[in-house]
A and B are shown apart, each in its own frame.
Chain A
Amino acid sequence: MNDMSALPTENSPATPAGADRDAAYVRISHVTKKFGDFVAVDDVSLDIRRGEIFCLLGGSGSGKTTLLRLLAGFERPTAGSIYIDGVDMGAIPPYERPVNMMFQSYALFPHMSVEKNVAFGLEQEGVERASVRRQVGEILDIVKMAGLGARKPHQLSGGQRQRVALARALVKRPKLLLLDEPLAALDKKLREHTQFELLNIQQRLGVTFIVVTHDQEEAMTLGQRLGVMNRGRIAQVGTPSDIYESPATRFVADFIGSVNMFEGHVREERAAGLRLEVGELGCVVRAERAVSCASGATVWAAIRPEKINISRQPPPAGAAENAVAGTVREIAYMGDMSIYLVQIASGKMLRVTLPNTARGGERPIAREESVWLSWHGSSPVVLTE
């Protein structure tokens, strides 16, 4: 899953429809959408493969929902074009697109029963009544809502409504399903359960999913690939582990999970990695990563909290590299792990997490204790922008 086609295809020539299975099923090419002066989507190019689950992840106002609405046809791009299965969607209204959407609010028709809601899409196509009934029954079975067909939406729980919305969007067997924050309205327990069920249904029906979410956890578990959006642009595209372990920009590093970020200068560049002079850390950071940047350039080192060791003893290699002394200021016990906020000489706070592997055992590190923080050379990510 770590191939180069995962990156936005800036200059790749458009391939004819269905040329090969790995070709883009949905191609978003230099799409811009403006609302007055506000640029909601800014020159986005993105390829989505057939049968994959692609998550668009971003904060509010990042343009992710606008991009979804552009795909559904509710908005027209100001510039650029969208191809679905090789067909330019430019002049095609929403009611003629081979796409269905599951709305964040579910948008169930309140005056219709569950069955009528699900049947609506088929009825628009003029499918004969017996066939409609059979297909509605099948899809209600799949989403485990058989027997509740006669209910009205207001007689259902949140989770049941979500299933009806999913059934309604899937009943026409679209090749592409757009899901706008599909789990946002569910409580945490139901959410985890539904998440796995969504994956199950997606595999069974072989539908391509594009999921919009602001919840990184949801994106990580649901998405085979993620596109992180920021201010209308795609900041990075990749697998969940690509994005977590090798964020491309400071924004991505900061948006996904938590991170300790330091500004530094490149002191030495070698094939094996770089050495950074990091003033606010008071030590040299050695990063075993190949990053092309000039000596002396300003860069940022990002270290995930779980990749930092915390210890009472100084590291054996000495304090010159990838180690710094500090004082524990705050400890948050989370059950499965603990978060330590450690203040170093420059006054900066570092966030360190440790799994609580042992119960009881040795004396735990306490507040106001002096500790050493250290990390492996493979841990820091060097970011140039």
Chain B
Amino acid sequence: MPLLSQSSGRRLVAGIPLLWLLLLFLVPFLIVFRISFSEVRLAIPPYTPLLSWHHGTPSLELHASAYAFLFTDPLYLSSYLYSLKVAAVSTLCCLALGYPMAYAIARSGAATRPVLLMLIVLPFWTSFLLRVYSWIGLLKNNGVINNVLLYLGVIHQPLALLQTDFAVYVGIVYSYLPFMILPLYTNLEKHDLTLLEAAADLGARPLRAFLAITLPQSLPGILAGSLLVFIPAVGEYVIPTLLGRTDQLMIGRVLSDEFFENRDWPVASAVAILVLLLLVVPIILFQRIERRELEAHT
């Protein structure tokens, strides 16, 4: 008799990722969700318990005060909106830069294509943190960019590049560009080029053919790439902390400050839950597109 019957083997294979998600996503989420409905207190752990005992009978203690607090202090709303704006602008910049690059790679010769793809992936071989740090060296007042421009006489005063929105955009676009390029490349590479010939044959000039044939067919790639950039960019913590403004925080930074500076776990958890709600819509969208792509190819 085999050690595992076929169906139990199949169940095992499907069960491992399920267990993974359960332990490392759902359970932590539930813990955070539960903390967000408690109140802060000076104890270990620093929040009120879920159940309290009064004269031998348990009573459920749920507080919405953390959420209420988020709506009273404008800091949170402005951080949310700022995060959305930064993520949206960065996504558009990634798309504007990434589409032509993905297109060029998809249309390049079979010999150069792996080399170009390798160059896109190459930065991942260096630590993310290190790469973001090195942007400080480029952008700071006596950094590489300012020194070169001063030396060339283009400017006479160093430009304030670091700790600006611009620096955050540069950092995010630089870091997330591969996540835009790769899904776009995967999409564009599959395109049937005879369709463009057919369009030309029917009288469409190259730009018209691109707009009518290539662009609509690459929409799934555009959406996949955009969501892969937008979703992590909203919650980005490292880049705005190292390169960004000090007077306007992104929501990821607010969250970490609530946890580690203010030690207000309930508010921090409420911030996290709202970030998640904010991202659930694009995540669901992303999964629907992925499923449709998958169905289209089977």
Contacts and interface: CB of A to CB of B under 8 A. Distances in A.
Interface stretch (B125-133, B202-210, B238-246): B202-210
Interface string B214-230: 00110000000000000
A95 B204 contact: yes
Contacts, number: 58
Contacts of B213: 109
B155 interface: no
B197 A120 contact: no
B289 to A, nearest CB: 14
Contact of B217 (A96, A110, A124, A125): A110
A169 B199 CA distance: 11
B202 A172 contact: yes
A76 to B, nearest CB: 13
Contacts of B216: 111
Nearest to B204: A124
Contacts of A110: 195, 217
Interface size class of B (residues with CB under 8 A): 10 to 19
B194 interface: yes
A101 B203 contact: no
Interface in B14-61: none
B160 interface: no
B73 interface: no
A383 to B, nearest CB: 39
A107 B195 contact: yes
Given A120-B212, A124-B208, A107 B202 contact: no
A103 B203 contact: no
Contact of B202 (A73, A74, A120): A120
Interface string A116-151: 000011001100000000000000000000000000
A111 B211 CA distance: 13
Interface in A81-105: 93-96, 99-101, 103, 105
A107 B197 contact: yes
A120 B194 CA distance: 15
A72 interface: yes
B247 interface: no
Contact of B203 (A108, A109, A111, A121): A121
Nearest to B203: A124
A161 interface: no
B124 to A, nearest CB: 33
A198 to B, nearest CB: 18
A168 B202 contact: yes
Contacts of B197: 72, 74, 94, 101, 103, 107
Contacts of B202: 95, 100, 120-121, 124, 168, 172
Contacts of A169: 201
Contact of A103 (B194, B204, B205, B217): B194
B208 A103 contact: no
A96 B208 CA distance: 14
B98 to A, nearest CB: 22
Interface of B: 192, 194-195, 197-205, 208, 212-213, 216-217
18 contacts: A72-B197, A72-B201, A74-B200, A94-B200, A94-B201, A95-B201, A95-B205, A96-B203, A100-B202, A101-B201, A103-B198, A107-B198, A110-B217, A124-B202, A124-B204, A124-B208, A125-B203, A168-B198
